[in-house]
A and B are shown apart, each in its own frame.
Chain A
Amino acid sequence: MTSASVTPQAVLDRSDELRRGLDGSFRDYMVASLYERAGELAGRSVREHGSGKWDFDQRIDRILTSRWLGLPVMLLLLGAVFWVTILGANIPSQMLANAFFAVEAAAASWFESVGAPWWLTGLVWHGIFRGLAWVVSVMLPPMAIFFPVFTILEDLGYLPRVAFNLDWLFRKAGAHGKQALTMAMGFGCNAAGVTSTRIIDSPRERLLAILTNNFVPCNGRFPTLIMLAVIFVAAAFPPAVAALAAAASVVAVVLLGVCFTLGVSWALSRSLLSGEASAFTLEMPPYRRPSVLRILYTSLIDRTIFVLGRAMLTAAPAGALIWILANTQAGGVTLAERSIALLEPLGTAIGLDGVILLAYVIAIPANEIVVPTMLMCYLGGAMMMDITTYEQIREVLVGQHGWTLLTAVNLMLFSLLHNPCATTILTIWKETRSARWTALGALMPLGLAFLVCLATAQAVRLLPL
Chain B
Amino acid sequence: MNTEACDGCPAHAQLAEMGVDIANCDHVVALAGNPNTGKSSVFNALTGLRQHVGNWTGKTVTRAEGAFGYGGKRYKLVDLPGTYSLLSASQDEEISRNFLLFGQPDCTVVVVDATALERNLNLVLQVLEITDRAVVCVNLMDEAKRKGIDVDVRSLSRDLGVPAVPTVARTKEGLAELVASVAGVASGETKTSPSRVAPPAEVREAIDGLVPLIRGMAPGLPSARWVALRLLDGDHKVREALLSGELAGLADRQRQPAPVDASKIKAIAGAQ
Contact = CB atoms under 8 A, between A and B. Distances in A.
B206 A21 contact: yes
Interface in B44-76: 50, 52-59, 61-62
Interface stretch (A49-57, A127-135, A420-428): A49-57
B56 A11 contact: no
Given A45-B153, A154-B54, A155-B55, A10 B121 contact: no
A155 B58 contact: no
A35 B122 contact: yes
A18 B53 contact: no
B217 A294 contact: no
Contacts of B61: 195-196, 198-199
Identify the interface centre among A15, A31, A41, A47: most chain B CB within 10 Å of its CB. A15
Given A34-B197, A45-B117, A159 B56 contact: yes
Interface of A: 1-12, 14-15, 18-19, 21-23, 26-27, 29-31, 33-35, 37-39, 41-51, 53-54, 154-157, 159-160, 178, 181, 195-196, 198-201, 281-283, 285-286, 288, 291, 294, 297-298, 301-302
Interface residues of B, number: 74
A287 to B, nearest CB: 8
Interface of B: 35-36, 50, 52-59, 61-62, 81, 84, 87-92, 115, 117-119, 121-122, 124-126, 143, 146-153, 155-156, 159-160, 170, 195, 197-200, 202-203, 206, 209-210, 213-214, 216-219, 228-229, 231-234, 239, 242-243, 245, 247-249, 252
Identify the interface centre among A23, A44, A286, A297: most chain B CB within 10 Å of its CB. A286
If over half of A's interface residues share one DSSP class (helix, strand or loop), that class is named, otherwise mixed; here it is helix
B92 A199 contact: yes
A226 B188 CA distance: 59
Contacts of B239: 12
A14 B54 CA distance: 46
Nearest to B44: A294
A128 B180 CA distance: 54
A139 to B, nearest CB: 21
A11 B217 contact: yes
A9 B146 CA distance: 55
Contacts of A37: 121, 125, 195, 197
Nearest to B129: A34
Contacts of B57: 160, 181, 199, 282-283, 285
Contacts of B216: 4-6
B52 A302 contact: yes
